Amino acid sequence: MDAALIDPFQRAISYLRVSVTDRCDFRCLYCMSENMTFLPKAELLTLEELDRLCSTFIGMGVQKLRITGGEPLVRRGIMGFFRNVSRHLGSGLEELTLTTNGSQLARYAAELADCGVRRINVSLDTLDAAKFQKITRWGRLGQVLEGIDAAKAAGIRVKINTVALKGFNEDELFPLIDWCAREGHDLTFIEVMPMGEMEDRVGQFWSLMDLRHRIGTRYAMADLSERTGGPARYVRLETGQKIGFITPLSHNFCESCNRVRVTCTGELFMCLGQEDRADLREVMRNGNDDALRAAIREAIARKPKGHDFDYSRREVAGQVSRHMSHTGG
Ligand code: SAM
Ligand code: SF4
């Protein structure tokens, strides 16, 4: 194996998130516009290029790989990609996982489990079918719940990711918590981030400090020291249930950041909240693996200390222009 990837702030890069498509079968209000223009196929990394890229990062010390999108499971041939990448499990790669909207899970859960996927994140903001359709525009709740059941039946642990949205799912705080407890799913709340189009984004912002406070009105809870090198912080309720909070806005979480992201076009983003990037597709299409490794090292040497998102002045500062579906969240 090559020398580990260490950034200028002595953070080891051990976690890679890869977006395999910008397309999606949903159009969540906070993520995409209704009429998205998607990239032409030639712009996308092929599945072979994605495999080469992931394998190179694993050779440089990446231990955890999260596949995301857009919706990763709508990319044609994606199960072949999972099958191939799973060869690294146990020899460098410790975890292969994905973030999905769940719509295709009923079809793929068993095969994912067979490829060594042990845990997945499923995004779900509401348990109300009408509200689900409103927030996802094109999604059907029943299909997602079936998918989640299929994952559970296949022995995959499910973590539900819920974007906290003011006036939208505030009233479902306890129903969501109780449903996850009954089903045995972990649950993490996410603050809405200033990505893409910003109409009314500030109005949608529901601070997780407030959300946490409300949980506290019903349950005693204790902070957990557990850290994943990412933005999530966890509490344990008196019931034993664990709940996570991803608060990119009210707290800065960058000091322990261990991750980088690659888009489906091969752009390496060293920070979700900054525009700086490196074009790895160009290097891959014109260079050998040594050139690719050199380009990755050169980019990691530019990884910034942190992002600049800030809602505190009631206007959105530090906004980046790309959509979440572009960088994969
Ligand atoms: N389609 C998959 C899904 O929905 O899980 C994977 C990609 S999606 C971009 C990854 C995550 O980003 C989802 O949990 C979604 O809720 C979240 N997300 C999208 N836009 C967001 C925003 N503006 N603020 C916070 N989270 C966002
Ligand atoms: Fe699609 Fe996920 Fe974005 Fe929703 S959040 S539009 S499911 S990529």
Name the closest-CA residue to atom 4, ligand 2.
28
pLDDT beyond 90 at 204? no
Say what the pTM is: 0.92
Q: Which residues contact 292 (CB under 8 A, 6 or more apart)?
A: 52, 53, 56, 280, 283, 284
- What rounded mean pLDDT belongs to the chain? 89
> Is the CB of 32 inside a 6 Å radius of any atom of ligand 2?
yes
CA of 121 to the centre of ligand 2 (A): 13
Average pLDDT over residues 147-162: 98
pLDDT beyond 60 at 325? no
* Residues 57/4, Cβ–Cβ less than 8 Å: no
Q: Which ligand is nearest to the CA of 73?
A: 1
For the chain, how are helix, strand and coil distributed in percent, rounded to 5?
Answer: 35, 20, 45
pLDDT tens for each residue of 52-95: 999 999 999 999 999 999 999 999 999 999 999 999 999 999 99
**CATH no. of 15-159+254-327:** 3.20.20.70
30 CA: nearest ligand 1 atom: 23
Residue among 103, 104, 123 to mutate when testing ligand 1 (max atoms within 8 A of CB): 123
Q: Euclidean distance between the first and final Cα of the chain, in Å?
A: 29
Return d(Cα 299, Cα 279) in angstroms, integer. 9
List phi, psi (to 5°) of 279: -90, 100
Helix boundaries (H) for 163-205: 173-183, 201-204
Place of tokens 């380009």: 295
> Is the CB of 102 inside a 6 Å radius of any atom of ligand 1?
no
Residue among 123, 125, 126, 322 to mutate when testing ligand 2 (max atoms within 8 A of CB): 123
pLDDT tens for each residue of 257-270: 888 999 999 999 98
Residue among 246, 324, 326, 327 to mutate when testing ligand 2 (max atoms within 8 A of CB): 324
Average pLDDT over residues 182-206: 75
Domain ranges of the chain: 15-159+254-327
CA of 144 to the centre of ligand 2 (A): 13
